[in-house]
A and B are shown apart, each in its own frame.
Chain A
Amino acid sequence: MVEVVGDAATVAVLALATMVPITLAALGEIVSEKAGIVNIGLEGIMLLAAWVAAASYLEAGVGYIGAYVLGAIVGLALGLIHGVLSVYLKGDQIVMGIGLNIFAVGATILGTYALWGVFSNSPSFDPMPGLIVVSGVKISPLVPATIALGIVLWAFLQKTVIGLRLRACGEDPRSAEAMGVNVLLYQVMAAGFSGLTAGLAGAYLSIDYQGVFAKNMTAGRGFIALANVAFSGWDPLLALLGGYLFGFFQALAISLNIALQEEALSSIINTIPYLATLAAVAVVARRRVRIPRWIGRPYIKE
């Protein structure tokens, strides 16, 4: 990781780097949940994509871009599988996600061992160079890309007819169908998109943010992304804000640990992002949010 000085400005900039995976994955998941499909397996998809990106960068020489593409493809494929099984087989969306998460932890450790002969992590490598370096923090091209994606998705969902049709699927699939929307197709596509962004988020973690694959390196980020979805009230613009907020807590924990150099205390500091996330979600839960009404339920045609 980058050298960091523990001052406020650095934390604010570092938060741009830490916000990327939780925001990207949340943006895709917003689209998916707006269409009615929940994917609790974001964590697992991110982890698998992180491993694939690192492995292909290190072992196949595909370069950073190639690694990103492969990570995204893995995510897309897993998202589509989740979508097809949810939509056509009416599989249990939550439990499939849980299974995927458990599978991913085991599979990436096995993969790590198979490729590099150790249980814990891949060899370190130089992470992808950034656009610029601010206060000692590298700014990846994915930072502006994520922000841009948030804006584009907001416009897509709010301003286009296709976005409108997609939202109708997650609100009331029966009425949507009655108004001529191909609900099942929209849902599969949306689930695929969510997988794609989670794949990019995972690839970012290994080849761009850290320059290594380490076991369990997602460390709950997939779930923080889900927290961000709820926090944002399914609004991509607010998800940018939420992503920055949750990223800020992570950046704060990192900076505090580096500044204090206290091994024992560092564990307590590490709880900050999780507890802050939970608190933030609990606080906004009181607010009346427009949850897509048909979320996570199989739509069974009459």
Chain B
Amino acid sequence: MAASRELLLTLASILVGLAAGALVLAAGGADPLKGIYVLLTSFTYYPEILLVGASITMLTGLAFAIPLRVGFFNIGGEGQLYAGAIVSLMVSLVAPYTPFPGLLAGFTAGAILGFIAGFLRVRLGVNEVLSTIMLNWAIYWTSTYLVIDVLADPIYPHLTRQVPEAARIPWIPSSLLGPLSEVLPGGVPIIPFISIAVALAAWAAMYLTVPGLRYRFVGANEYAALSRGVNVDYVKLASMTVAGGLSGLAGALLILGYSYRVDTGLSGLAGYGFEGIGAALIGRNHPLGIIAASVFLGELAAGSERIQVEANVPAELAEVVSGAIIFVLAALSGLKYVAPRLLGVKSEG
């Protein structure tokens, strides 16, 4: 499919998604056009939400996109992120010196979950959508237990203890930002740079290495890969494991680099895993596309936060819009079969 037409299809889906948001706004009695405008232009009001949201979504987006290329639906980003967040918090409390042990532990926790789902699929044939959702809920409740019973702050029982200063990922102070310091009085978190680095690394691994090329072949033509000596099962299992690890890393970054603690309802963690699905699909499963899509979704998050504060519409508006975009993208994904001409796909005699 021509790249420009793909982009067009994506933009059309975004428009439909925004229209769905407008519809919901109108149904709720708000001015739909103004609402959409606010939704798309509020990054200056909540720059941190945009930056943090985009950097976390970027990683969970990769976590969905990487296995999808080889035909697996990793819906477990949510649980893998919880696990990464809680484990990294625990490690930071045990080893309060640098953020690195926490990051590693977070990645590992997520990777183990990804591996379990991948293993169940490759070896036993358990559908990965099912296993990842069941694991999401099991991890949700396990995390809740840990938050309430093990990690609770003695003073604020609805919150956990905080990541010790030394184990936090530092911020760039606003004094170093020059003219930007007015917009970002609190400085800039470093996690967006880490996420972008990870996304670029994923891009490099996919496009500049031989194993990455083989991985892309498994997704594009499994038989060709098989007939050229690629161990297809291994590639699939590895991609689920790495994906889980990236979601786990996202959770660790969120805790060590931004929120430092979790509330008992896990509301500070919720939703990023599913947002990642949107980022992956809007970004067409390409690491660079996912970077752009994450920024877009980060803006939606900032915008919906502002709408919640100013117009009293719940911030879940962002989910309505991204859910609708995903739905429309999926619905249109079969156009290549139905109307190949429209998409400029050459038909084979």
On A, residues with C-beta under 8 Å from B are 40, 85, 88-92, 94-96, 98-107, 109-110, 113-114, 119, 219-220, 223-224, 226-227, 230, 263-265, 267-268, 270-271, 274-275, 277-278, 281-282, 285-286, 298, 300
Which residues from A are CB-within-8-Å of B137? 219-220, 271, 274
B135–A278 touching, CB < 8 Å: yes
Name B144's closest neighbour in chain A (CB-CB): A267
Cα A224 to Cα B134 in complex, Å, equals: 8
Cα A227 to Cα B192 in complex, Å, equals: 37
- Give B316-340 interface residues, CB cut-off 8 Å to A: 316-335, 337-338
A110–B330 touching, CB < 8 Å: no
Check A110/B333 contact, CB under 8 A, given A102-B326, A282-B120: no
Check A113/B313 contact, CB under 8 A, given A227-B130, A282-B124: yes
Cα A103 to Cα B17 in complex, Å, equals: 10
Which residues from A are CB-within-8-Å of B329? 95, 99
Q: Is B20 engaged at the interface, CB distance under 8 Å to the other chain?
A: yes
A298–B326 touching, CB < 8 Å: no
Select one of A85, A94, A103 contacting B331, CB under 8 A.
Answer: A85
Which residues from A are CB-within-8-Å of B331? 85, 89, 91-92, 96
Which residues from B are CB-within-8-Å of A268? 141-142, 145
Which residues from A are CB-within-8-Å of B338? 88-90
Cα A274 to Cα B319 in complex, Å, equals: 25
A99–B145 touching, CB < 8 Å: no
B126–A285 touching, CB < 8 Å: yes
Which residues from B are CB-within-8-Å of A40? 129
Which residues from B are CB-within-8-Å of A114? 27-29
Q: Is B268 engaged at the interface, CB distance under 8 Å to the other chain?
A: no
Beyond the given pairs A107-B316, A298-B334, 10 more chain A to chain B contacts, judged by CB atoms under 8 angstroms and listed by A's residue number, are A85-B331, A91-B330, A98-B73, A105-B319, A106-B323, A110-B316, A110-B320, A223-B133, A274-B135, A278-B138
A271–B333 touching, CB < 8 Å: no
Which residues from B are CB-within-8-Å of A94? 73, 129, 330
Cα A282 to Cα B333 in complex, Å, equals: 31
Instruction: Sample 21 A-B pairs with CB under 8 A, ordered by A number.
Output: A88-B338, A90-B334, A92-B331, A95-B73, A95-B326, A96-B327, A96-B330, A98-B330, A99-B323, A99-B326, A106-B320, A110-B24, A113-B28, A113-B313, A113-B314, A230-B126, A264-B148, A271-B141, A274-B134, A275-B138, A281-B127
Q: Is B91 engaged at the interface, CB distance under 8 Å to the other chain?
A: no
Check A99/B317 contact, CB under 8 A, given A267-B142, A281-B130: no
Which residues from B are CB-within-8-Å of A91? 330-334
B24–A107 touching, CB < 8 Å: yes
B145–A102 touching, CB < 8 Å: no
Q: Is B260 engaged at the interface, CB distance under 8 Å to the other chain?
A: no
A47 to chain B, nearest CB (A): 11
- Give B104-137 interface residues, CB cut-off 8 Å to A: 120, 124-127, 129-131, 133-137
B319–A106 touching, CB < 8 Å: yes
Name A215's closest neighbour in chain B (CB-CB): B316
Name A277's closest neighbour in chain B (CB-CB): B134
A290 to chain B, nearest CB (A): 13
A161 to chain B, nearest CB (A): 30
Select one of B127, B319, B320, B333 contacting A95, CB under 8 A.
Answer: B333
Q: Is B31 engaged at the interface, CB distance under 8 Å to the other chain?
A: no
Which residues from B are CB-within-8-Å of A99? 323-330
Cα A263 to Cα B144 in complex, Å, equals: 10
Q: Is B75 engaged at the interface, CB distance under 8 Å to the other chain?
A: yes
Name A101's closest neighbour in chain B (CB-CB): B323
Q: Is B281 engaged at the interface, CB distance under 8 Å to the other chain?
A: yes
Cα A60 to Cα B321 in complex, Å, equals: 27
Which residues from A are CB-within-8-Å of B27? 114
B266 to chain A, nearest CB (A): 11
B320–A282 touching, CB < 8 Å: no
B332–A106 touching, CB < 8 Å: no
Check A105/B126 contact, CB under 8 A, given A89-B334, A267-B148: no
Check A263/B335 contact, CB under 8 A, given A105-B319, A274-B134: no
7 interchain residue pairs of minimum CB distance: A90-B334, A103-B323, A106-B319, A99-B327, A99-B326, A102-B323, A95-B330
Cα A265 to Cα B145 in complex, Å, equals: 7
B106 to chain A, nearest CB (A): 20
Check A230/B127 contact, CB under 8 A, given A91-B331, A106-B316, A110-B316: yes
Cα A104 to Cα B332 in complex, Å, equals: 20
Which residues from B are CB-within-8-Å of A265? 145
A106–B326 touching, CB < 8 Å: no
Check A110/B323 contact, CB under 8 A, given A91-B331, A282-B124, A285-B124: no
Which residues from B are CB-within-8-Å of A105? 274, 316, 319, 323
Cα A131 to Cα B310 in complex, Å, equals: 48
A109–B142 touching, CB < 8 Å: no
Cα A107 to Cα B338 in complex, Å, equals: 31
Select one of A220, A271, A298 contacting B133, CB under 8 A.
Answer: A220
A90–B323 touching, CB < 8 Å: no
Which residues from A are CB-within-8-Å of B138? 271, 274-275, 278
B142–A107 touching, CB < 8 Å: no
Cα A96 to Cα B324 in complex, Å, equals: 9
B130–A102 touching, CB < 8 Å: no
Interface hub of A92, A99, A298 (most chain B Cβ within 10 A): A99
Cα A277 to Cα B134 in complex, Å, equals: 8
Which residues from B are CB-within-8-Å of A264? 145, 148-149
Which residues from A are CB-within-8-Å of B337? 90, 298, 300
Q: Is B84 engaged at the interface, CB distance under 8 Å to the other chain?
A: no
A278–B274 touching, CB < 8 Å: no
